[in-house]
Structure 1
Amino acid sequence: MLRKVLALAALGLAFVAGPSLAATTHEEPKDVHWSFEGPVGKFDTEQLQRGYKVYREVCSACHAMNLMYFRNLGQKGGPFYDPKYPNSNENPYVKSLAKDIQVPDIDSETGDVIHRPATPADKFPSPFPNEPAARASNGGALPPDLSVIAKAREGGPAYVYSILTGFGPPPKGLTVPPGKYYNPFMPGDLTSFWTGPKDKVPEGGFIAMPPPLAPGKVTFDDGKPSTVAQQADDVAAFLMWAAEPKMEERKQFGLGAMIYLLIFTGLLYASYRRIWRNVAH
């Protein structure tokens, strides 16, 4: 009897939740290719450096990366790795990057809150002191932490790229609420905001973030043209590295393991043939 009741309850929930879940739609992320794709792909160091600059000069105004330390930038495989400084805390370029950023601290003598230049041992600072402050500055929406967003979102870095390049005028017949922006790659249900034909509700949703990128907004040190697509491509790659900084080492280990297993399989088969060659089967 209990099983029947539970089954009926689950069926009822499916009917209730089904339509609302089915109505949440968005366009598939754009087809973007990066150097780190595939079993032997590697991060492009120059791209990671450009991506960090986009994050620092644009994204960090609203988004934190609470899992990242400045020293991570100089670790092996990182955007500013230098083999002369295996200890990234001693990397002079990382020190210089950190020094340009002010981080909160406590005065050891007075106990007052102060700000000081960051060191490689410091975390990336948060743009807001707490969640209420973050929401108050963004119309009630909480900007997500970007530390692992490239792994946390379906579509990975392609999702990040698509969101950043997907802003545009809303379709005719779509009413956009104040403080929101239409983005076809943002999951949402636009049915109640659509005045056009019911069978042609556009895909996508609303996002509280205004278009963050613009042509020439960031000047790249290597002379790369600073288009919106280039900025989005670079910061998406940087966020992918931040989410999985050991990707290259993992791939190298996996490739070595596969080669070892192939050799071991060949030796095992040769041993089998030699040991049992004179034995009738």
Structure 2
Amino acid sequence: MKKLVSSVLSLTLAIGLGVGAAFAAEEGHEEGGTPHYPIHKPKNLEWSFAGPFGKYDKGQLQRGLKVYKEVCSACHSMSLVSFRTLEDLGYSDDQIKAFAAEYEVQDGPNGDGEMFTRKAVPSDHFPSPYPNHEAAAASNNGAAPPDMSLLAKARGITRGFPLFVFDIFTQYQEGGPDYIYSLLTGYVDPPEGVEVAEGTHYNPYFANAAALAMAPPISDDQVTYDDGSPQTLDQYSKDVSAFLMWAAEPHLEERKRTGFMVMVFLAIFTALIYLTKKSIYARKEH
């Protein structure tokens, strides 16, 4: 009993210290102490794929693909995503072939032992805009732009106590898209008294510092939408964030369907076990 009480007290103390440290860190940042990033927590948006029954909005994914192609692909690769997977977005085989043919990929060696370039086919992956990692770094002040294949799963911000407890029940998995959206829409002028290094841009939603080397990549009316959706920074950011979530987890809908069926099975199985137990022990004397 004493060990149990001691364990409970230790857990309560640890939680209290963690919450206190969080408040202290926030106060320290406001008073000029050691900053903790991101300065602002990512905004929580409503996504069609959120929750246990969420589904991707194919129209939004198609718009996000267009934003990636016309804006993001100039610097960022998506080397783990093949063109043929665009079938999940509602494109036909002919459309995918035509889309892939707009890119060139390196192939070979040929009969003479030399590498060559050719038009991409559906089985190819999205190519990088740079020939190699070193060239990418050299073109971006020494830091190669990250590959976007898994970006939406890799950039989720830890929400901390007590939110992570509620996330277990709400199945919150949208930290990556929330972060990407917040970053794209979060560029502002630095506050008075805050200086950023030359060649960087202040963004309080950036996870690693107060500023980053990437300039604001997109603005209003930069990409033309054919379906009449608003051509605004806010809409572009939502669409490309949703598209990157699909790129990182294309089987999300199937996973959720499987999980729901498993939960239904477990519920029925538990009920049958309980009824079996009642039937067996109903004739037993207690």
Q: TM-score range by the shorter chain?
A: 0.7 to 0.9
> What is the identity, as a one-letter code, of the residue corresponding to 2:94?
P
Counterpart of 2:89 in 1: which secondary structure?
coil
Q: Which moved more, 1:50-59 or 1:148-157?
A: 148-157
Q: CA–CA distance in 2 between the matches of 1:167 and 1:81? A: 34
Say whether the 8 Å CA contact 1:80–1:94 is kept in structure 2: no
Q: CA–CA distance in 1 between the matches of 2:78 and 2:46? A: 24
Q: Which moved more, 1:120-129 or 1:103-112?
A: 103-112
Alignment of 1:117-132 (within 5 A): 117-132=119-134
Counterpart of 2:79 in 1: which secondary structure?
coil
- Cα displacement string for residues 176-212 of structure 1 (whole angstroms, at most 9, x for unaligned residues): 22211010101345xxxxxxxxxxxxxxx11111101
> What is the identity, as a one-letter code, of the residue corresponding to 2:37?
T
Q: Does structure 1 residue 180 correspond to structure 2 residue 200? A: yes
Measure how far apart 1:165 and its partner are: 0.5
- Cα displacement string for residues 65-117 of structure 1 (whole angstroms, at most 9, x for unaligned residues): 1111111211xxx21356xxxxxxxx222111101112222362444443321
Alignment of 1:21-40 (within 5 A): 23-26=35-38, 27-40=40-53
Q: Does structure 1 residue 233 correspond to structure 2 residue 238? A: yes
- Cα displacement string for residues 24-43 of structure 1 (whole angstroms, at most 9, x for unaligned residues): 32210012110000001011
Counterpart of 1:104 in 2: which secondary structure?
strand
> What is the identity, as a one-letter code, of the residue corresponding to 1:102?
E
Q: CA–CA distance in 1 between the matches of 2:46 and 2:140? A: 32
Percentage identity across paired residues of the two chains = 49
Q: CA–CA distance in 2 between the matches of 1:42 and 1:251? A: 9
- Cα displacement string for residues 104-146 of structure 1 (whole angstroms, at most 9, x for unaligned residues): 2236244444332110111110011112211121122221111
Q: CA–CA distance in 1 between the matches of 2:220 and 2:281? A: 71
Alignment of 1:7-86 (within 5 A): 23-26=35-38, 27-74=40-87, 78-80=88-90
Measure how far apart 1:22 and its partner are: 5.4
> What is the identity, as a one-letter code, of the residue corresponding to 2:67?
V
Cross-structure match for 2:155? 153
Counterpart of 2:272 in 1: which secondary structure?
helix
Say whether the 8 Å CA contact 2:64–2:241 is kept in structure 1: yes
1:261 to 266, 276, 286: 266
Cross-structure match for 1:115? 117
Q: Which moved more, 1:258-267 or 1:119-128?
A: 258-267
Q: CA–CA distance in 2 between the matches of 1:188 and 1:271? A: 56
In the comparison of the two structures, how many residue pairs are matched?
A: 238
Unaligned segments of structure 2, at least 5 residues: 1-24, 157-174
Alignment of 1:241-280 (within 5 A): 241-280=246-285
Counterpart of 2:246 in 1: which secondary structure?
helix
Q: CA–CA distance in 2 between the matches of 1:278 and 1:69? A: 63
Aligned CA-pair RMSD:
2.1
Counterpart of 2:106 in 1: which secondary structure?
strand
Q: TM-score, normalised by structure 2?
A: 0.78
Counterpart of 1:68 in 2: which secondary structure?
strand
Q: TM-score, normalised by structure 1?
A: 0.79
Say whether the 8 Å CA contact 1:80–1:93 is kept in structure 2: no
- Cα displacement string for residues 207-259 of structure 1 (whole angstroms, at most 9, x for unaligned residues): 11110111111112212111001011010001111111111111000000111
Q: Does structure 1 residue 162 correspond to structure 2 residue 206? A: no
Q: CA–CA distance in 1 between the matches of 2:258 and 2:199? A: 48
The 1:262–1:188 alpha-carbon spacing in structure 2 relative to 1, beyond 3 Å, is: closer
Q: CA–CA distance in 2 between the matches of 1:277 and 1:22? A: 66
